[in-house]
A and B are shown apart, each in its own frame.
Chain A
Amino acid sequence: MQLGPLQLTVRWEVRQKQPPLLSALTLLGALAMGFLWVGLVFFFLGVDPVFALRKIFVGSFGSVYGWKESLTKGIPLFLISSGLCVAYQAKFWNIGAESQLLMGAVCSTWFGLHVGASLSPIVGIPLMFFMGFLGGALWGVIPAILKVRFGVSEVISTLMLNYIAAEFVSYLIVGPWKGTTKYGYPYTDDLPKHLLLGTIPGSRIHYITLFLGIVISIALFILLYRTKFGYEVRVVGESPEAAKYAGIDFFRTSLLIMIISGGVAGMAGVGEVAGIHHHLSYPGNISAGYGFTAVITAWLGRLNPLGSLIAGFFFAGILVGGDAIQISLRLPAATVHIFNGILLFVLLVGNFFLNHRPLLQLHRR
């Protein structure tokens, strides 16, 4: 930029430390900018921005209903994003959590319909979660093997497996698994009553999965920062060469990472089927893109499972708030996407400012 005979240049210097106060201020600053921008969008849509923003707030964190819904939508995000933290710390770019969730849903539905009917809930529900874990883990292990044995980029393979899983689910519900009690709708039959997950009265919060989500986040935090395996995951991610030097088995580590990451996504699928829908239906119904939203929340949480817990809850609130304005202001569905996009954008920009310090230099030309 030129100012008369002077020239202004900006350079970005990496910040070595992020003090908590600065983190809080950038977060607040980013949100303020985001809401200002969103308000502008509302203004041009002919909606009173103050009214719309209040609706969003009331719809998400400003009402009991909002809290309940935010927690409900947070459950799959907690599970998936804490698993993704593990994968991403090893720089294993799993963007297939959506399909790992679906495969978990498929396996647990099969179990619930065919095996679980004769089991008591005490045995049946844990086994159902285990089946979900297994489904997600098996689906997650495929790209790990492809990567280590054949050098296939996991970005491509995990992304493509999303389509395969979605089509597979669609095939099941219109084909072999189509329910006999569903009046021709493409759903499977409902799971047996005693295997459905209980909810907190007056809400859709399936508390078993919520509990699992929080416990698993904490467990994965401990795994990453306190165990030998977590140490090896971080070494592999930071420097594959140093990992080789340290005698870390890359194949074994990659497999375990994807078993964990895929498995917990599969458990999220169990929660959606047994806690919310009670049967398997269209992929888009089972998951509102949680596998992709969780990518964002894992990063916003700085790849720390506990951080992703907070980020997941916050983002669930944004999803719910978006739903609220869509319904109450009769805005087109795309408005919600714009709204989410803007917030993600300002959060990422805020993150950049948190990590970099601008250095302004004035000098003579």
Chain B
Amino acid sequence: MAGKSLLKKIQTVQMEKISKYFQGVAANRNIDLTIRGGEILGLLGENGAGKTTLMNILYGLYRPDGGRILIDGVEATFRSPRDAIRAGIGMVHQHFMLVQNHTVVENIVLGDGEAPFLFPQRAVEQKLLKFQELYGLKVPPYARVWQLSAGEQQRVEIVKALMQGADLLILDEPTSVLTPLESRDLFSILRRMAGEGHGVVIISHKLEEILDLCHRVVVLRKGEVVGEADTKGVTKEELARMMVGRSVVFSFDWKPAPKGEVVLQVEGITVRSDRGTVAVKNVDLSVHRREIVGIAGVAGNGQRELVEAITGLRKVESGRIRILGKDITNQSARVIHAEGVAHIPEERIRFGTVPNLLIYENAVLKRHHFAPFSDVLFLDYSEIKSHAVDLVEQFTVAAPSIRVPMKHLSGGNIQKLIVGREVSAGPALLVASHPTYGLDVGATEYIRKQLLKRREEGEAVLLVSEDLEEILELSDRIAVMFEGHIVGILNRQEATIEQIGLLMGGVRS
């Protein structure tokens, strides 16, 4: 079956002198890029470097302002993704575009023009089996999408693209939602696809995975190609320098420090999820002064609910939470904040900011209620503005002015402002949920340093992250959550990535 190719594969895709402007700002400038069949190409760059824009042009979502696209030497014009799909190009976006309440087969049929009108499921199921055999793409055909893990949903997206006849598959930040194990599976699928002659483009800012998976890497910075290399002959440090334009520190100056008194004391709390199931089961946890406690775990194992319970966003069913000895169980978010808990939320744009309000208005979100930013009735705007200016300067937020809406900032700068806002409140406990998720190397480095600085200054930090390297680099102690329980707490010295990985999968040693 492997010999009987499904379609004639694309040999080369050339993008020549591609330029794209958004309101006068160049997102892509004179970019030349060649993608070959049978090759995995990494497109590396920081947030805002223009990677996704470039691929959206190739997928027909945007029209370039200049330049042209050649497929096997023939010029092609894509007015919409439909044209691109017809030409054999498929794309899996960072956020999946699946109908949550439909089954896998139903979702796939939606995009499949060749499926028979009546009883299409059977035909699709046959094809699914074929892909499973060819590439190891396993998906449960009759499960509903919401029941699937992120990794499974991603496989559905890939199958969907392949069914539409994609020879060239573009994946935008494919591992950002996956566990380490799922990432490994994905990579082996992609390798088999390349082996069958498919072209694959991976958009990423993770250096390790680019080096691990790709044959060739193209680095973008500020909308331009700044480097290209075979992954065999290049190091992580070299790529990072190309991407950021300067050298990047990869290991932080972590010094052992004696931990101080207990700041956060969680005693046997049980918390329910939005669906009403018990998400946090009888969890005990403490965080001391001069300590970072990292919480590792696959998403959906109760980390979010634990954080929300501590920060006052979710009700605790039973158990106690104390801050510096004071019982704050089931107090409001405002009271808990006043007791010295700051929170860098998981969904920073939805929860941490108000996109349409101005930067200075966002600079006091939650703190607007307290002196010196307000009295009983009125806000003190001059105080608020000068605070915002301080934050922007001190935390190196790249913003044209504090008078522009928050939504005009890039992801990294939004997070810097949130971190600055929360840190500047001088909290006894900083709860940071996925603080560097989706951020570029520069911003990630900056924010990790800020967390370490809190620790050096003698405060407590609770760090929740799926990035194991981040957890290992920053934490004094590492707690692993699995199905609502803390299944192990490891000291920094004794923790290894393998051990944590096993605990995350529910395997106790």
> Could you say which of A16, A227, A231, A244 contacts B333, with CB atoms under 8 Å apart?
A244
Write out the residue numbers on chain B whose beta carbons fall within 8 Å of the beta carbon of A245. Answer: 313, 333, 343, 345, 351-352, 365-366
Asked if B351 contacts A242 (CB within 8 A), the reply is yes
Write out the residue numbers on chain B whose beta carbons fall within 8 Å of the beta carbon of A229. Answer: 377
Asked if A238 contacts B356 (CB within 8 A), the reply is yes
Q: Say how far B369's CB is from chain A's closest CB, in angstroms.
A: 6
The distance in angstroms between the C-alpha atoms of A249 and B377, with both chains bound, is: 16
The distance in angstroms between the C-alpha atoms of A40 and B345, with both chains bound, is: 58
Write out the residue numbers on chain A whose beta carbons fall within 8 Å of the beta carbon of B379. Answer: 226-228, 231
> Could you say which of A9, A13, A227, A238 contacts B355, with CB atoms under 8 Å apart?
A238
Q: Which residue of chain A has its CB nearest to the CB of B353?
A: A242
Residues of B in contact, count (CB < 8 Å): 34
User: B374 near A: Cβ within 8 Å?
Assistant: yes
Q: Say how far B339's CB is from chain A's closest CB, in angstroms.
A: 12
Determine which residue in A235, A245, A248, A361 has the highest number of CB atoms from chain B within 10 A of its CB, and name it: A245
Asked if A228 contacts B378 (CB within 8 A), the reply is yes
User: B23 near A: Cβ within 8 Å?
Assistant: yes
Asked if B368 contacts A231 (CB within 8 A), the reply is yes
Write out the residue numbers on chain B whose beta carbons fall within 8 Å of the beta carbon of A247. Answer: 312, 332-337, 366, 369
The distance in angstroms between the C-alpha atoms of A178 and B312, with both chains bound, is: 55
Q: Say how far B308's CB is from chain A's closest CB, in angstroms.
A: 10
User: A239 near B: Cβ within 8 Å?
Assistant: yes
Asked if A242 contacts B312 (CB within 8 A), the reply is no
Asked if B381 contacts A242 (CB within 8 A), the reply is no
Q: Which residue of chain A has its CB nearest to the CB of B65?
A: A361
Write out the residue numbers on chain A whose beta carbons fall within 8 Å of the beta carbon of B350. Answer: 239, 241-242
Contact with B along A227-259 (1 / 0, CB 8 A): 111011011001101101111110000000000
Determine which residue in A227, A228, A232, A363 has the highest number of CB atoms from chain B within 10 A of its CB, and name it: A228
User: B354 near A: Cβ within 8 Å?
Assistant: yes
Write out the residue numbers on chain B whose beta carbons fall within 8 Å of the beta carbon of A232. Answer: 368
> Could you say which of B312, B335, B351, B368 contacts A228, with CB atoms under 8 Å apart?
B368
Asked if B381 contacts A246 (CB within 8 A), the reply is no
Q: Say how far B78's CB is from chain A's closest CB, in angstroms.
A: 11
- Given A227-B377, A239-B355, answer yes or no on A246-B77 (Cβ-Cβ < 8 Å): no
Interface residues of A in 244-296 (CB under 8 A from B): 244-249
Asked if A246 contacts B368 (CB within 8 A), the reply is yes
Q: Report the contact-size class of chain A (Cβ under 8 Å from the partner).
A: 20 to 34
The distance in angstroms between the C-alpha atoms of A2 and B508, with both chains bound, is: 67
Q: Say how far A51's CB is from chain B's closest CB, in angstroms.
A: 47
Interface residues of B in 283-298 (CB under 8 A from A): none
> Could you say which of B335, B354, B378 contacts A235, with CB atoms under 8 Å apart?
B354
Write out the residue numbers on chain B whose beta carbons fall within 8 Å of the beta carbon of A238. Answer: 354-357
Write out the residue numbers on chain A whose beta carbons fall within 8 Å of the beta carbon of B356. Answer: 238
User: B63 near A: Cβ within 8 Å?
Assistant: yes
Asked if B365 contacts A246 (CB within 8 A), the reply is yes
Contact with A along B292-326 (1 / 0, CB 8 A): 00000000000000000000110000000000000
Write out the residue numbers on chain A whose beta carbons fall within 8 Å of the beta carbon of B355. Answer: 238-239
Asked if A235 contacts B332 (CB within 8 A), the reply is no
- Given A227-B377, A228-B374, A231-B361, answer yes or no on A246-B353 (Cβ-Cβ < 8 Å): no
Contact with A along B362-401 (1 / 0, CB 8 A): 0001101100001001110100000000000000000000
Residues of chain B at the chain A interface (Cβ within 8 Å): 23, 63, 77, 79, 312-313, 332-337, 343, 345, 347, 350-357, 361, 365-366, 368-369, 374, 377-379, 381, 408
Q: Can you list 25 A-B contacts (CB < 8 A)?
A: A16-B23, A226-B379, A226-B381, A227-B379, A228-B378, A231-B361, A231-B379, A234-B361, A238-B357, A239-B351, A241-B350, A241-B351, A242-B352, A244-B333, A245-B333, A245-B343, A245-B352, A245-B365, A247-B332, A247-B334, A247-B335, A247-B337, A248-B334, A363-B63, A363-B77
Closest 7 CB pairs of A and B: A247-B334, A247-B333, A246-B366, A245-B351, A238-B354, A241-B350, A241-B351
Residues of chain A at the chain B interface (Cβ within 8 Å): 9, 13, 16, 226-229, 231-232, 234-235, 238-239, 241-242, 244-249, 361, 363-364
Beyond A247-B336, A247-B337: 15 further Cβ-contacts under 8 Å? Answer: A227-B378, A228-B368, A228-B369, A231-B361, A232-B368, A234-B357, A234-B361, A238-B354, A239-B351, A242-B351, A242-B354, A244-B313, A246-B333, A247-B366, A361-B63
